[in-house]
Amino acid sequence: MKKSILLIALFIVGLSAQLQAQTVYVASTGDKKYHKKDCEYLKTGEVKSISMADAKSKGYTPCSVCFNGAPIKAATETKTTMKKEPVTSKAENQKEAAKTSMADKKEADKAKVEAKKEADKTKLEEKKEADKAKKEAEKTKIATKKEADKNKAEAKKQAEKTKLAAKKESEKAKKETEKTKLAQKKAAEKARIDAKKEADKSKAAAKKEAEKAKSEAKKEADAKKKAAEKKPK
């Protein structure tokens, strides 16, 4: 009887150790729950596999959905069943535990590979988006440069046009000034000639008047002389 109780106690301790070594999964979302691999709450975010003992030591508690009291229930059912079934040997328990640990490791490795694939896929998508954004930026840069060059060329063309128009206006104004200056010179020359003609005409008239007056004076003098000669002495 005591031997049976001891075997039962050893089996419970071994089962507890197996449960503690069982691989569970936690999400990177900050949720302090550990889950089974197929739990619906692990469908989003990065998933990490750890042992149940580590999960408990870090403050994680079992998920109420995927575990639903499974550890306690399993222990209770095992304890009840052991009264009816023969006790499993320690070697078989170790073998089964090793088998379970290996299966859990395979599942963890598989999950790790899947997570890496998903991360690589996300990284590739992000790189594609970055390359696309870079191409769009280059395209926009080229279009902006073309527009700037076009505006610069138009501004230069307009400046040349304005400069040419200003030059034409300046030359036109210069010609008008030269024309006005020439007309003024001609008018001044004509006025000078006309004034000279008037002066010469006035001088000739004055000279003629002076000669006439001199001739009249001479005639009068001659007439007086003759009259004086005719008077008796």
- pLDDT tops 90 at residue 165: yes
Distance between CA atoms of 158 and 150, rounded to whole angstroms? 12
Determine, yes or no, domain membership for 77: yes
Determine, yes or no, domain membership for 111: no
Residue 9, pLDDT score: 46
Determine, yes or no, domain membership for 52: yes
In percent, the amount of the chain with pLDDT more than 90 equals 28
For all residues of the chain together, what is the average pLDDT? 78
Determine, yes or no, domain membership for 46: yes
Determine, yes or no, domain membership for 14: yes
Which of 48, 40, 57 minimizes the C-alpha distance to 108? 48
> Which secondary structure element, helix H or strand E, spans residue 169, and what is its range?
helix 90-230
Place of tokens 């229930």: 73
Where does the pLDDT of residue 170 fall: very low under 50, low under 70, confident under 90, or very high at 90 and above?
very high
Give the SS3 label for residue 45. Answer: coil
Choice between 79 and 170, residue whose per-residue pLDDT is larger: 170
Choice between 130 and 71, residue whose per-residue pLDDT is larger: 130
Residue 22, pLDDT score: 81
Choice between 79 and 97, residue whose per-residue pLDDT is larger: 97
Determine, yes or no, domain membership for 114: no
- pLDDT tops 90 at residue 153: yes
Tally of structural domains, the chain: 1
Give the SS3 label for residue 51. Answer: strand
Where does the pLDDT of residue 115 fall: very low under 50, low under 70, confident under 90, or very high at 90 and above?
confident
Mean pLDDT for the stretch of residues 29-53: 81
pTM above 0.85, yes or no: no
Determine, yes or no, domain membership for 136: no
Residue 140, pLDDT score: 92
